[in-house]
Amino acid sequence: MVIPLLREYDDATEEGPPPAPTATGGARIDIENVSHWFDVPGGNKLQALDGIDLHMAPGEFVALLGPSGCGKSTLLRLVAGLEPATTGRLAQDGRPIARPDPSRIVVFQDPTLYPWRRVRANVALGLQARGVLRAQAGRVDDALARVGLADFADAFPHQLSGGMAQRVALARALVNDPRLLILDEPLGKLDSLTRLQMQSELLGLWQRSGFSALLVTHDVEEALFLAQRVVVLSDRPARIVAELPVDLPYPRHRGHPRLAELRHAALRHLGLDASW
Ligand SMILES: Nc1ncnc2c1ncn2[C@@H]1O[C@H](COP(=O)(O)OP(=O)(O)OP(=O)(O)O)[C@@H](O)[C@H]1O
């Protein structure tokens, strides 16, 4: 998705390039009483979020689960600074979130790589947009190595598998050294085996890099395998209906009985029968 990069570029041209993010660990995120409405045709309003209160500790991994269309992506967009909340307050490390920032990077379901750019050039996009590529070129190869794609730096996107393309998208995020990684169903289009493998890789990246992570997923097992806390949202307008701390150390065994209990609880809060 190129929107954040373009917005960063606009910011950079107006005020000079923002300082390079530093590896200072994960961001603290405070979402306080956030409600959001959209204008829809006919002069009506559609409420997507209703009084969301969510606080993330630095370096925490939080997953959001909720019915389709309830407002999950909307919440991620507000946290990313892509649009302002109608009411309420969002802050990163105590400072209001007012616009996109390279310290908060979104990874979407679709890796949206530029087909005419080699992998290395796709990963370099964020640095290039901020005018810091020459000074920080080493970060590109470092990010590719971190996702296991050092040998594919000169490949074109059509030469990659779906999992590899999503690894490039992750590298494109990591190159900015984000303090908050915002993950909107990043593994949603992958086949189930690749998805399991990528979950472990994502976990390793989070553990090694120390960023905070806010994940939206429809996959209850994925949320429970990855996150330290799973937040369950209601139907639209999204309200928080449950917060489930996942009190198990990493790496987690997917067959752990506690995960089965938590899965049951999450499905119950989602209004689903968990008897199967
Ligand atoms: N720009 C917009 N203008 C008007 N309505 C919008 C806009 N963006 C989202 N919506 C509406 O807000 C609601 C929440 O959308 P959102 O994409 O946040 O849901 P979601 O939980 O992420 O859905 P899914 O799980 O299916 O991806 C939906 O009813 C959607 O149609």
CATH code of the domain in which 261 resides:
3.40.50.300
Helix H, strand E, coil C: the string for 180-211 is: EEEEECCCCCCCHHHHHHHHHHHHHHHHHHCC
Q: What angle do CA 141, 26, 11 make, to 5 degrees?
A: 70
Ligand 1 atom with minimal separation from the 74 CA: 18
Cβ(36) to ligand 1 under 6 A? Answer: no
Look at residue 138 in the predicted model and tell me its pLDDT.
86
Domain membership flag for residue 147: no
Look at residue 21 in the predicted model and tell me its pLDDT.
40
Tens of pLDDT, residue by residue, the chain (276 residues): 333 333 332 333 333 333 334 446 899 999 999 999 999 998 899 999 999 999 999 999 999 999 999 999 999 999 999 999 999 999 999 999 999 999 999 999 999 999 999 999 999 998 888 877 777 778 899 999 988 999 999 999 999 999 999 999 999 999 989 999 999 999 998 888 988 988 998 999 999 899 999 999 999 999 999 999 999 999 999 999 999 999 999 999 999 999 999 999 999 999 987 665
Domain membership flag for residue 123: no
Cβ(73) to ligand 1 under 6 A? Answer: yes
Look at residue 190 in the predicted model and tell me its pLDDT.
86
Look at residue 130 in the predicted model and tell me its pLDDT.
82
Domain membership flag for residue 191: yes
Look at residue 11 in the predicted model and tell me its pLDDT.
33
Domain membership flag for residue 90: yes
Q: What is the ipTM of this complex?
A: 0.98
Ligand 1 centre from 50 Cα, in Å?
A: 13
Measure the CA–CA gap between 262 and 230, rounded to whole angstroms: 9
Cβ(40) to ligand 1 under 6 A? Answer: yes
Q: 240 is in which domain, residue-wise? A: 3-112+179-269
Cis ω before 115 (30° cut-off from 0): no
Report the number of distinct structural domains present in the chain.
1
Residue type, 90: L
